[in-house]
């Protein structure tokens, strides 16, 4: 309905957020965004001058903390106002020029996205397609590099869409560097959940979003360029077509206390607090927490009688893929578990799976128990025979077998 207005355009009648949002909040256990800690939510309410001295201090600390999380000494940390795909586009559009060759290792929906972006800027795009249930094979990547001779190689550490883990990332990156390639890694669902050592593994650009492993809000993303990658950015012969994603313009804000566009102030504040929580916990303890919780969840899912989609050797721990039982669809499961048990899990992009996230705040024991119980109850409600008590017991048994690490802030 609309109300009449002397201005000619009728004034809309809208619902308040209180009327739209569920009265009982959903537990966000899908593939992202994830639950955020209270301090991150509080920081997201702060607005200050985006060009003032306080903001300069915040940016300085964000960059310092990012270097720890990315495991790099590179100066060239940049943020972007947008999702992780915006950081992805910043990387591709700044490294590539029209006609230059890029090789994209395609594990699925998201790893193909960088090929799509490169195509739009007129690059010579080649893809190495990896079978759905497998991780990228270093020797097949080597052969593709020898055939194509790309300027840039892109790949994901974890393919969120089908829950595959490229466990040979370090080896692949070093192979690519031996051929003179710039290596771009999508760590959107993996950064801070598992080891990634940008400098030691010879990676040139790492991309991530705030809303997954870092447990920050969607809409502010990070990427880091190596010195080699930054030299490529600075030696471009043509300007970047996307003004907002021009890394040399972004340098004004992120490294010169200057102006590019109005920065997403509140989102940067939230990201600052999220990164500080990672640093306080330490990467080692954070990796251990993520591994313990994900393995426990996987044990519980299998103990219930459900199947994990990816074989163990190539299985991603930060997003767990569960094969949909015959006769059901992802929407059947996701709708029921949300409506009845107030737990949000995710469908997929073309694969017969539902996905449960194990990133950041999702990896807490109380969230595991609520989620697994809701999943088992949903399956029973929808007519699938599962052994729910055994699944819960298997998860508890795994948790008891692996000691919990108690974080101690220095």
**pLDDT for 410 beyond 50:** no
What per-residue confidence (pLDDT) applies to 407? 58
**pLDDT for 1 beyond 60:** no
**pLDDT for 322 beyond 90:** yes
In 137-226, which residue ranges form alpha helices assigned H by DSSP?
Answer: 138-148, 169-178
What per-residue confidence (pLDDT) applies to 2? 53
Rounded to whole angstroms, how far apart are CA atoms 352 and 161?
11
Output the six-digit token pair for 156: 């994901």
Annotated binding site for substrate: 355
pTM score: 0.94
Q: Summarize pLDDT for 356-389 with one digit per residue, the tens.
A: 999 999 999 999 999 999 999 999 999 999 999 9
User: Sign (positive/negative) of CA torsion 261, 265, 270, 272?
Assistant: positive
Phi, psi angles (nearest 5°) of residue 282: 80, 145
What per-residue confidence (pLDDT) applies to 22? 86
Q: Summarize pLDDT for 243-302 with one digit per residue, the tens.
A: 999 999 999 999 999 999 999 999 999 999 999 999 999 999 999 999 999 999 999 999
Rounded to whole angstroms, how far apart are CA atoms 33 and 50?
25
Report percent pLDDT > 70 for the chain.
97
Residue 112, sorted as left (phi over 0), alpha (psi -120 to 50) or beta, turns out to be alpha
Q: Summarize pLDDT for 103-131 with one digit per residue, the tens.
A: 999 999 999 999 999 999 999 999 999 99
**pLDDT for 99 beyond 50:** yes
* Cβ atoms of residues 330 and 347 within 8 Å: yes
3-state secondary structure of 162: coil
3-state secondary structure of 81: strand
Per DSSP, what are the bridge partners of residue 344?
28
* H or E stretch covering 79: strand 76-81
Annotated binding site: 355
Cα distances (angstroms) measured from residue 354 to each of 27, 55, 207: 16, 41, 25
3-state secondary structure of 337: helix
Read off the pLDDT of each residue in 28-33 and give the average, rounded to a whole number: 97
All structural domains of the chain: 27-33+282-401 (3.90.1150.10), 38-280 (3.40.640.10)
Output the six-digit token pair for 132: 């759905």
Residues in contact with 350: Cβ distance below 8 Å, sequence separation at least 6, in sequence order: 108, 109, 161
For residue 6, what pLDDT band results from cuts at 50, 70 and 90?
Answer: low
Residues in contact with 146: Cβ distance below 8 Å, sequence separation at least 6, in sequence order: 179
How high does pLDDT run on average in the chain?
A: 96
Residue 311 CB-density burial (10 A; 0-12 exposed, 13-18 middle, 19+ buried)? exposed
Q: Summarize pLDDT for 201-212 with one digit per residue, the tens.
A: 999 999 999 999
* H or E stretch covering 292: helix 283-303
Q: Nearest-CA neighbor of 250 among 239, 259, 237, 241? A: 259
**pLDDT for 409 beyond 50:** no
Rounded to whole angstroms, how far apart are CA atoms 286 and 82?
26
């Amino acid at each position: 309905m609309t109300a009449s207005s002397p201005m000619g355009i009728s004034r809309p009648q809208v619902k308040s957020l209180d009327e739209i949002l569920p009265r009982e909040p959903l537990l966000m256990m899908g593939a992202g965004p994830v639950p955020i800690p209270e301090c991150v939510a509080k920081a997201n309410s702060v607005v200050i001058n985006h060009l003032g001295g306080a903001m300069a201090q915040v940016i300085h600390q964000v960059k310092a903390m990012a270097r720890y999380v990315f495991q790099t000494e590179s100066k060239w940390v940049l943020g972007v106002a947008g999702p992780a795909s915006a950081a992805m586009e910043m990387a591709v559009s700044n490294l590539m020029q029209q006609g230059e060759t890029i090789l994209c290792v395609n594990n699925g929906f998201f790893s193909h996205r960088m090929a799509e972006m490169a195509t739009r800027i007129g690059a010579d795009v080649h893809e190495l397609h990896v079978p759905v249930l497998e991780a990228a094979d270093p020797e097949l990547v080597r052969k593709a590099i020898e055939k194509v001779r790309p300027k840039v190689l892109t790949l994901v550490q974890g393919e969120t869409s089908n829950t595959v883990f490229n466990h040979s990332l370090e080896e692949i990156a070093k192979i690519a560097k031996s051929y003179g390639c710039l290596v771009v890694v999508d760590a959107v669902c993996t950064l801070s959940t598992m080891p990634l050592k940008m400098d030691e593994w010879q990676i040139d650009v790492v991309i991530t979003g705030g809303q997954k492993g870092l447990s920050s809000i969607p809409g502010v993303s990070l990427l880091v360029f190596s010195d080699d990658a930054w030299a490529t950015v600075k030696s471009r012969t043509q300007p970047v077509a996307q003004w907002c994603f021009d890394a040399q313009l972004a340098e004004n804000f992120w490294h010169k206390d200057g102006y590019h566009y109005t920065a997403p102030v509140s989102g940067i504040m939230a990201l600052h607090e999220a990164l500080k929580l990672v640093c306080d916990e330490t990467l080692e303890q954070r990796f251990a927490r993520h591994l313990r919780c994900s393995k426990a969840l996987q044990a519980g899912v299998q103990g219930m009688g459900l199947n994990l989609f990816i074989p163990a050797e190539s299985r991603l721990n930060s997003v767990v893929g569960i094969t949909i039982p015959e006769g059901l669809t992802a929407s059947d499961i996701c709708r029921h578990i949300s409506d009845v048990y107030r737990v949000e899990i995710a469908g997929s992009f073309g694969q017969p799976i539902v996905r449960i996230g194990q990133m950041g705040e999702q990896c807490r024991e109380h969230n595991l128990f609520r989620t697994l119980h809701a999943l088992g109850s949903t399956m029973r409600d929808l007519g699938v025979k599962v052994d729910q008590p055994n699944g819960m017991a298997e998860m508890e048994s795994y948790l008891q077998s692996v000691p919990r690490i108690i974080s101690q802030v220095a």
